[in-house]
Amino acid sequence: MLVTAESTPLGPDGRLWKPGGAFTYTDALVLIGSWTNGQRLAWRASQRVVADPARSTRGLIEPTLAELRDGRILMVMRGSNGGAADSRFTLPSYKWFAVSKDEGENWSAPGPWTFDDGQAFFSPSSMSALFRHSSGRCFWAGNLSEHNCQGNSPRWPLVIGEVDPQSLSLIRSSVLTVDTEGPEDKTRGRLDLSHLTLIEDRETKEIILVYPRSFNAYKSREWALIRLAVK
């Protein structure tokens, strides 16, 4: 059993380390659970996935996992620009990825996640989700942007796309925009399309995507449910 987690490293002075001058700074890791003879779970921590603070001012945040058919495990994470070290938001706003070939124990060095043509894409510092469908195909849902983001914003549009099973990158031609800012949204304060959940309908095999359409810095929200057929 694998459960994603974060840890906050300590600096040389023994205090919480925030090298980018941002609000938080974390490493990503996985908690690995094994059943004992007493029918209890014993947990141990995997190797940490550690960012370069010169490339992500908040480290790596909110990892999501999926195991592919060949046994490799893909981890996709938030990064961030901004903070005291990047006050003009000049760092590229990437999603980051790492891969494990030994059931989550060890991980590759993190790098910018890309489309299947090798091009990195912009994404705000927002949670995303990998989802393994019963067909064996792997999908990713999260925020993409045409332009470099500024920290957490903008958290729209919301998209879903398929992960290439060989390169573990996002298949550009598969990316579907599920929701984005419309004219009526502009009067309601900042729109955030994040904190999503993905499940599968056992009968129809549709992917069910549920998320809040949040407005005005999360002061109000309305819920959306989208059904996506998998062909």
Domain residue limits, the chain: 2-187
Confidence band for 231, pLDDT divided at 50, 70 and 90: confident
The percent of residues above 90 in pLDDT, for the chain, comes to 97
Task: State the maximum Cα–Cα separation within the chain, in Å, rounded to a whole number.
Answer: 59
Average pLDDT (158-181) is 98
| pLDDT reading at 38 higher than 90 | no
Instruction: Kindly indicate the confidence band of residue 162, based on its pLDDT and cuts at 50, 70 and 90.
Output: very high
| Amino acid at residue number 194 | S
How confident is the prediction for the chain on average, in pLDDT? 97
Whether the pLDDT of residue 104 is over 90: the answer is yes
Q: Does residue 174 sit in helix, strand or coil?
A: helix
pLDDT at 79 over 90: yes
Domain 2-187 has CATH 2.120.10.10: yes
What's the whole-number mean pLDDT along residues 220-226? 98
pLDDT tens, 64-77?
A: 999 999 999 999 99
Q: What is the pLDDT confidence band of residue 3, given thresholds at 50, 70 and 90?
A: very high
Closest residue by Cα to residue 45 from 105, 120, 91, 100: 105
9 φ/ψ sector (left φ>0, alpha ψ -120 to 50, else beta) = beta
Q: In 147-163, which positions are buried (b, 16+ CB within 10 angstroms) versus exposed (e)?
A: eebbbbbbbbbbbbbbb
- Which whole number is the average pLDDT over 171-179? 98
- pLDDT surpasses 90 at 36: yes
Give the list of residues 6+ apart from residue 70 with CB closer than 8 angstroms, or none: 165
Q: How far apart are CA 141 and CA 228, in angstroms?
A: 12
Neighbours of 67 (CB within 10 A): 16
Instruction: Give 231 or 74, the one with higher predicted confidence.
Output: 74
Nearest residue to 120 via CA among 140, 138, 158, 94 = 94
Output the pLDDT for position 15.
Answer: 92
pLDDT tens per residue across span 204-216: 999 999 999 999 9
R_g over Cα of the chain: 18
